Chain A
Amino acid sequence: MSIIDLKGLLVPLGALKQIAKEPHTIKYPDQTKEISERYRGFHYNDLDLCIGCGNCSTICMNEAIDMVEVEDIEGKPGDSGLRPRIDYGRCCYCALCVDVCPSGSLSMTADFIKVSEDAFDFLMIPGKDNPGGKDKITFDASTDTSLNLFERVPMRELPPEERVQSFAEVFLGYTEEEARIEASRCITCGLCTENCPVHMHIPEYINAISRGDDEEAIRIIYDNNDLPEMCGKVCTRRCEDVCALQVRGEAVAIRWLKRYATERAENADMIRRIVNPEIREPNGIKVGIIGAGPAGLTAGYYLALKGYDITIYEAKSEPGGMIMYGIPKYRLPYDSIQKQVDYMKSIGVKIHFNTKVGKDISFDEIYNKHDAVFMGVGLQKGYTLGIEGEDAEGVWAAVDFLGLVNEGKRPDMGKRVVVVGGGDVSMDSSRVSRRLGAEVVQLYRRRIVDMPADDEEIEGALEEGVQIIEKAIPTRVIKDEKGRVKGMEYVRAELVPPEGGGRPRPVPIKGSETVIECDSIIAAIGQKADFGLLPEKVQNSLTFERGKIKVDDERRTGYPKLWAGGDAVKYGRVDAISAIADGFYAAESIDAYFMQVKA
Chain B
Amino acid sequence: MIMKTTSERNKQTTLFIGPQHPGITGNMMVKLLVEGDTVVRAETHIGYLHRAFEKLIEQRNWLQSFTLLCRFCVPEPDPMELTYARAVEAIEGREVPPRAKYIRTIVAELARIQSFLLWYGGQAGSAGLYTLGQWTVGDRNYILDLFEDLTGARIYHMYIWPGGVRRDLPKGWADKTRRVLDYLEKRLDDYNRLLFDNAVFQKRAQGVGIIPKDKALEWGVTGPPLKGTGIGNDVRKDEPYCAYGELDFDIPVYEGGDVWARALVRRDEIKQSIRIIRQALDKMPGGSYYNRIPNPMKWRLPAGEAWVKTESVRGEIGFYVVSDGTEKPRRVHLRGAAYTHGISVLEKILPGQNIADVSFILNSLGACPPEMER
Direct contact of A and B (CB under 8 A): yes
Chain A positions near chain B (C-beta within 8 angstroms): 1, 5, 7-9, 11-12, 14-15, 24, 33, 35-40, 58-59, 61, 92-96, 99-100, 108, 138-139, 145, 147-149, 181, 183-188, 207, 210-211
Residues 136 to 179 of chain B near chain A (Cβ within 8 Å)? 138-139, 145, 148-153, 156, 158, 166-167, 170
B295 touches A147 (CB 8 A): yes
A12 touches B148 (CB 8 A): no
B292 touches A15 (CB 8 A): no
- Tell me whether A186 and B150 are in contact in the complex, defined as CB-CB below 8 angstroms, given that A15-B131, A96-B67 are known contacts: no
The interface-forming segment of B12-20, B197-205, B335-343 is: B197-205
A59 touches B297 (CB 8 A): yes
- Shortest Cβ distance from B73 into chain A, in angstroms? 16
B294 touches A9 (CB 8 A): no
A139 touches B293 (CB 8 A): no
Contact among B149, B152, B294 with A184 in the assembled complex (CB-CB below 8 Å): B294
| A186 to B158 CA separation, bound complex (whole angstroms) | 25
Contact among B68, B149, B190, B199 with A61 in the assembled complex (CB-CB below 8 Å): B68
A93 touches B156 (CB 8 A): yes
Instruction: With CB as the reference atom, state the residue of chain A lying closest to B168.
Output: A145
A8 touches B153 (CB 8 A): no
| A96 to B149 CA separation, bound complex (whole angstroms) | 18
B197 touches A94 (CB 8 A): no
Whether, in the assembled complex, B298 has its beta carbon less than 8 Å from a beta carbon of chain A, the answer is: yes
B152 touches A11 (CB 8 A): no
Q: What B residues does A5 contact at CB under 8 A?
A: 199, 202
- Tell me whether A92 and B295 are in contact in the complex, defined as CB-CB below 8 angstroms, given that A1-B202, A5-B199, A8-B199 are known contacts: no
| A5 to B201 CA separation, bound complex (whole angstroms) | 12
Chosen A-B contacts, 28 in total, with CB atoms closer than 8 Å, are A8-B197, A8-B199, A11-B193, A12-B193, A12-B194, A12-B197, A12-B198, A15-B194, A33-B145, A36-B145, A36-B149, A38-B149, A38-B150, A38-B167, A39-B153, A40-B152, A40-B153, A93-B153, A95-B158, A96-B296, A100-B296, A139-B152, A145-B166, A147-B293, A147-B296, A184-B294, A185-B294, A186-B298
Instruction: With CB as the reference atom, state the residue of chain A lying closest to B295.
Output: A184
B295 touches A148 (CB 8 A): yes
Instruction: With CB as the reference atom, state the residue of chain B lying closest to A145.
Output: B167
- Tell me whether A187 and B297 are in contact in the complex, defined as CB-CB below 8 angstroms, given that A24-B138, A39-B152, A94-B158 are known contacts: yes
| A100 to B158 CA separation, bound complex (whole angstroms) | 15
- Tell me whether A36 and B152 are in contact in the complex, defined as CB-CB below 8 angstroms, given that A24-B138, A61-B68 are known contacts: yes
Q: What A residues does B190 contact at CB under 8 A?
A: 15
Residues 52 to 76 of chain B near chain A (Cβ within 8 Å)? 59-61, 63-64, 67-68
Is the interface on chain B under 10, 10 to 19, 20 to 34, or 35 or more residues?
A: 35 or more
- Shortest Cβ distance from B300 into chain A, in angstroms? 8
A181 touches B197 (CB 8 A): no
Q: What B residues does A39 contact at CB under 8 A?
A: 148, 152-153
Q: What A residues does B298 contact at CB under 8 A?
A: 183-184, 186, 207, 210-211
Q: What A residues does B139 contact at CB under 8 A?
A: 24
Instruction: With CB as the reference atom, state the residue of chain B lying closest to A185.
Output: B295
3 nearest A-B pairs in the assembled complex, by CB-CB distance: A8-B199, A61-B64, A40-B152
| A7 to B156 CA separation, bound complex (whole angstroms) | 42
Q: What A residues does B150 contact at CB under 8 A?
A: 38
| A455 to B200 CA separation, bound complex (whole angstroms) | 81
- Shortest Cβ distance from A187 into chain B, in angstroms? 7
A186 touches B295 (CB 8 A): yes
B198 touches A8 (CB 8 A): yes
B294 touches A181 (CB 8 A): yes
A38 touches B151 (CB 8 A): yes
Identify 6 new A-B residue pairs, CB closer than 8 A, beyond the known A61-B60, A94-B156, A139-B152.
A38-B170, A61-B59, A96-B67, A147-B296, A184-B299, A187-B295
Instruction: With CB as the reference atom, state the residue of chain A lying closest to B296.
Output: A147
- Shortest Cβ distance from B294 into chain A, in angstroms? 5
Most buried by B among A8, A183, A207: A8
Q: What B residues does A145 contact at CB under 8 A?
A: 166-167, 290
| A7 to B200 CA separation, bound complex (whole angstroms) | 11
| A101 to B180 CA separation, bound complex (whole angstroms) | 35
A37 touches B193 (CB 8 A): no
Instruction: With CB as the reference atom, state the residue of chain B lying closest to A58.
Output: B297
A37 touches B293 (CB 8 A): no
| A474 to B150 CA separation, bound complex (whole angstroms) | 62
| A38 to B154 CA separation, bound complex (whole angstroms) | 11
